[in-house]
Amino acid sequence: MLLMLVLFLVAYLIGAIPFALLLSRMKGVDIRQVGSGNVGATNVFRSVSKGLGAMTFTCDVLKGFLPVFLFPLIWPVEQLPENAGLLYGCAAIAGHNWPVYLRFRGGKGVATSAGVLLGVAPPAVGVGLATWIALFVITRYVSLASIGAAIAIPAASWWLYGAENLVLPIILTILGMLIIWRHRSNIKRLLDGTEHEFRKEKVGTTEDAGVRRGGKE
């Protein structure tokens, strides 16, 4: 139990690494002060550079994937509780959303959740990715695409895994609800018709001040 708690803590600390902030500083930019102010890959891609945005996305995915894939190998498999890898992934997502390094103000956990799912439920990731791409191409709203994927993945998991492992779809449903809740400000702007479509912005621009202070994009 002590080893498991240590691994949970390590997973959280890995998830809490603010790659968006660290990589954007390579360009002399504080990502919290530009664009939407969100410490995530989309804001880096849109407000700093495409290359750093792609690097941020990759690092955020790995934050979720590595604890799920590697940590169960540290502890003998026969001693592991069922779905322990997924629980390590949840710790990494919590670290991304509420990072101790940034006074618990982090991103929305979409990329890190994708990394976790890649490790525990690849078919569900395929469904979510297809949903995300379709909604993004049609609407050009990253937030709407992410919300759609957050709905599609739990739905797919109940169909794919519900008969043999109820814990997995239950946890994925909770994670999906968490992602949607983290997008509550985006949902309000979508309903008001004020949500920003995806586009590359100049470094140093800021969006609505309320967005940066409250629900970040």
CA proximity to 157, closest of 178, 145, 173? 173
Q: Could you tell me if residue 213 is inside a domain?
A: no
For 164, the token pair is 């043999």
Do 96 and 131 sit in the same domain of this protein? Answer: no
Are 99 and 128 members of one domain? no
Asked if residue 138 is part of any domain, the answer here is yes
Same domain, yes or no: 79 and 134: no
Mean pLDDT, to the nearest integer, of 138-166? 89
Q: Give me the numbers of helices (H) and strands (E) for the chain, helices first please.
A: 11, 0
Please state the domain count of the chain: 2
Question: Which residues neighbour 206 within 8 Å (Cβ) at sequence distance 6 or greater?
Answer: 33, 34, 35, 37, 212
Same domain, 173 and 195: yes
90 and 171 co-located in one domain: no
Residue predicted with more confidence, 74 or 30: 30
Yes or no: say if 86 and 118 are a contact pair by the CB < 8 Å rule.
no
Do 63 and 149 lie in a common domain? no
Q: Which tens digits make up the pLDDT trace of 158-185?
A: 998 877 778 888 989 999 999 999 899 8
pTM: 0.79
pLDDT at 121: 86
Query: For 23-27, 93-97, 118-122, 201-205, which range has the lowest pLDDT when averaged over its residues?
Result: 201-205
The number of beta carbons lying within 10 Å of the beta carbon of residue 29 is: 20
- Condensed to tens digits (0 to 9), the pLDDT of residues 77-135 reads 455 556 778 889 999 999 999 999 999 999 888 999 999 999 888 888 899 999 999 99
pLDDT of amino acid 197: 77
Nearest to 53 by CA among 62, 39, 42: 42
Question: Is the domain of 4 the same as that of 95?
Answer: yes
Q: Which of 108, 142, 175 is the last residue of a domain?
A: 108
One domain, residues 103 and 129:
no
Task: Tell me: do 176 and 74 sit in the same domain.
Answer: no
d(Cα 50, Cα 202) in Å, to the nearest integer?
12
- The answer to the question of residue 96 being in a domain is yes
Tell me which residue has tokens 């930019």. Answer: 29
Indicate the residue type of 187.
I
Is 209 a member of any domain?
Answer: no
Residues 98 and 138 both lie in one domain: no
If asked whether residues 160 and 93 sit together in one domain, one would say no
Q: Which range marks the domain in which residue 148 is found? A: 121-201
Beta carbons of 41 and 67 less than 8 angstroms apart = no
Q: Summarize the confidence of residues 25-30 as an average pLDDT.
A: 93
Chain position carrying tokens 């949903």? 131
Whether 102 maps to a domain, the answer reads yes
CA atoms within 13 A on the CB side of 154: 17
Q: Which amino acid type is present at position 54?
A: A
Residue 89: predicted pLDDT: 92
Q: Are residues 154 and 70 in the same domain?
A: no
Is the pLDDT assigned to residue 136 strictly greater than 50? yes
Residue 77 CA, chain-centre distance (Å), reads 27
